[in-house]
């Protein structure tokens, strides 16, 4: 089907975009890469009367590497992040995740901010930002506010963003020496959203794991930290056997439900299996 | 303040030709190319980004033309299968598709060729796995893909041979 009728504005600045969002409130929607919003319009799942196209706002685009952190502008395209040497150096977890997002032609247009603002429970970028303890920068009519990743994602397709706010960027602490990252997901077909996925980041010294952050996505209404599993492995010398045993702790971390793609029970099993694989990879990366 | 509008005047370059047109903002780029410019080589399968039949090149990179509005191509450069064919840059790929039965009904072919062309521009001799991975966003309901991967690989091998000193 075709998109319903709407009016379109193309602001050049963040201030102009916020002014439009403030004026039109719930009737307006931000248009970033359009790789989720346009399908929703074409399928008539969404029918906003105003689209505020932010693609011309150059202040929202690109990566900035600072002393302690990396700032990712909301409009930075998936393809740009995928090929960035700064990302592979300072945010290796994100670099591992990017090729799993959709397909090349979709990564040309899809944006970092769009993926976060959409908050699909099975999406890769939200999971990585929770695992890396990122901070979201939101701009509205009364100025800017900062929200930790953990609080930004509030449920399926639900975030801390208000209708008059724009996500301007996401800040990540740079990965420090001794830390390793691993990522994996299960999909029916290459490029699909994950049935379940695991993002892991932690410090490895003498084959012992610490400061672990493991995030499960696709199994709940938002990316969740596997705190039980993390504490089970904290300070341990993590052999494959130890990891496999610890993975049963995941049953206390996620309670997958049935849906079109898999039953809750299948997902629970897949989550354990995948987490074991990803954590074994993490140990390998950390040791090499 | 900027006033939102339902109609826009846009200027863009399509297959090397500079154009100015008035568009409804809800018209997607695929429909604009097909209906307004009569470039019907860009196919429309699903209109929600899944099948890849509508793949075109925007400022040198492949995109889904069903997931963009024509107004967003303002000041951009678009290449459709007509432009790619006419310029001769994908002649070898097209020949390989014919020779290896990479085409049956032809519905997916313009998108496949645009994606395969983008892949071969990224570097020589991609592995079969890499070809499959890169073309994963383009559906074919006829060939079973094997013949398409064969075609792309044959064209890549041919290019590598002819670039040898
Ligand atoms: C076939 C297909 C497969 C896909 N597979 C995957 C996948 O495996 N994993 C995955 O993560 N994604 C996948 N996607 C989605 C893709 O990654 C999208 O690009 C992304 O989810 C949304 O980003 P966008 O820039 O396209 O946003 P848009 O579609 O433009 O917007 C999405 C939503 O976010 C809002 N929004 C966007 N930017 C901002 C902002 N800066 N501030 C406030 N609100 C904003 C919009 O109003 C809208 O509600 C797939 C898409 C397709 C078509
Ligand atoms: S018509 Fe655009 S991807 Fe199917
Ligand atoms: S040849 Fe018919 S869809 Fe691919």
Task: Identify the architecture of domain A7-53 in CATH.
Answer: 2-Layer Sandwich (3.30)
A35 vs A18: CA distance, rounded Å: 22
Q: What would the two tokens of residue B147 be?
A: 């013949």
pLDDT of amino acid A207 = 87
pLDDT of amino acid A261 = 86
CATH classification at residue B41: 3.10.20.30
Q: How far out from the chain centre does Cα A253 lie?
A: 19
Given phi > 0 = left and psi -120 to 50 = alpha, else beta, which region is A155? left
pLDDT for A219-257, tens place per residue? 999 999 999 999 999 998 888 889 999 999 999 999 998
Taking an 8 Å cut-off on Cβ atoms, the answer to whether A1 and B47 are in contact is yes
- Could you report the predicted ipTM of this complex, rounded to two decimals? 0.96
Please say whether the beta carbons of A11 and A30 come within 8 A.
no
The number of domains in chain B is: 2
CATH classification at residue B95: 1.10.150.120
Q: List the domain range (segments joined by +) for residue B62.
A: 7-84
> Does B73 have pLDDT greater than 80?
yes
- Judge if B119 and B144 occupy the same domain: yes
List, in sequence order, every residue forming a beta bridge with A48; answer none if it has no partner: none
Distance B53 CA to ligand 2 centre (A): 5
pLDDT for A154-198, tens place per residue? 999 999 999 999 999 999 999 999 999 999 999 999 999 999 999
- Residue B136 covered by a domain: yes
- Name the residue facing B5 among A2, A8, A189 (closest C-beta): A8
pLDDT of amino acid B79 = 98
A163 vs A133: CA distance, rounded Å: 24
Is the domain spanning A179-287 CATH 1.10.4030.10? The answer is: no
pLDDT of amino acid A238 = 83
The model's pTM is: 0.97
CATH class of A63-172: alpha beta
Q: What are phi and psi of A58, to 5 degrees?
A: -70, -25
Q: What are phi and psi of A136, to 5 degrees?
A: -95, 135
CB neighbours of A155 closer than 8 A, spacing ≥ 6?
Answer: A119, A221, A222
Chain B positions touching A43 (Cβ under 8 A) are 48
Alpha helices of chain B — where are they, by DSSP H?
29-31, 81-87, 91-99, 109-122, 128-134, 146-162
**In chain A, where the domains are located:** 7-53, 63-172, 179-287
> Does B165 have pLDDT greater than 80?
no
Average pLDDT over residues B149-163: 96
Taking an 8 Å cut-off on Cβ atoms, the answer to whether B63 and A108 are in contact is yes
pLDDT of amino acid A221 = 96
């Amino acid at each position: 089907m075709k998109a319903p009728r709407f009016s379109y504005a193309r602001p050049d600045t963040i201030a102009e975009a916020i002014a439009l969002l403030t004026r039109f409130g719930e009737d307006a929607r931000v248009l970033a890469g359009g790789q989720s919003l346009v399908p929703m319009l074409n399928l008539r799942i969404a029918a906003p009367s105003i689209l505020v196209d932010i693609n011309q706002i150059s202040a929202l685009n690109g990566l900035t590497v600072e002393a302690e952190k990396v700032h990712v502008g909301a409009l930075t395209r998936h393809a740009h992040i995928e090929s960035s040497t700064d990302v592979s150096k300072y945010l290796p977890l994100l670099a591992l995740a990017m090729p799993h997002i959709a397909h090349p032609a979709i990564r040309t247009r899809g944006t970092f901010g769009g993926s976060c603002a959409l908050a699909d429970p099975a999406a890769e970028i939200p999971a990585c930002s929770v695992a890396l303890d990122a901070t979201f920068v939101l701009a509205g009519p009364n100025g800017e506010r900062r929200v930790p990743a953990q609080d930004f994602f509030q449920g399926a397709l639900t975030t801390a963003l208000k209708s008059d706010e724009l996500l301007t960027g996401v800040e990540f602490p740079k990965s420090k020496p001794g830390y390793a990252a691993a990522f994996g997901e299960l999909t029916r077909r290459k490029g699909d959203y994950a049935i379940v996925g695991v993002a892991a980041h932690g410090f490895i010294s003498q084959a012992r794991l610490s400061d672990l952050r493991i995030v499960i996505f696709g199994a709940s209404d938002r990316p969740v930290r596997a705190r039980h599993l993390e504490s089970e492995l904290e300070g341990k010398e993590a052999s494959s056997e130890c990891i496999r045993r610890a993975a049963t702790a995941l049953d206390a971390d996620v309670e997958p439900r049935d849906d079109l793609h898999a039953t809750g029970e299948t997902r629970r099993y897949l989550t354990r299996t995948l987490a074991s694989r990803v954590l074994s990879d993490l140990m390998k990366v950390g040791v090499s | 303040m900027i006033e939102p509008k339902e109609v826009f005047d846009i200027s863009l370059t399509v297959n090397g030709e500079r154009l100015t047109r008035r568009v409804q903002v809800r018209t997607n780029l695929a429909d604009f190319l097909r209906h307004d410019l009569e470039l019907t080589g860009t196919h429309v399968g699903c209109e929600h980004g899944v099948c890849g039949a509508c793949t075109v090149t925007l400022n040198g990179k492949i995109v889904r033309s069903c997931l963009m509005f024509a107004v967003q191509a303002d000041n951009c450069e678009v290449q459709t299968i007509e432009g790619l064919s006419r310029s001769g840059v994908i002649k070898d790929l097209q020949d390989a598709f014919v020779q290896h039965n990479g085409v049956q009904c032809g519905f997916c072919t313009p998108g496949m060729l645009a994606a395969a062309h983008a892949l071969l521009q990224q570097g020589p001799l991609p592995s079969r796995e890499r070809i499959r991975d890169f073309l994963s966003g383009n559906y074919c309901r006829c060939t079973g893909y094997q013949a398409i991967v064969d075609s792309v690989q044959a064209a890549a091998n041919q290019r590598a041979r002819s670039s040898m000193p």
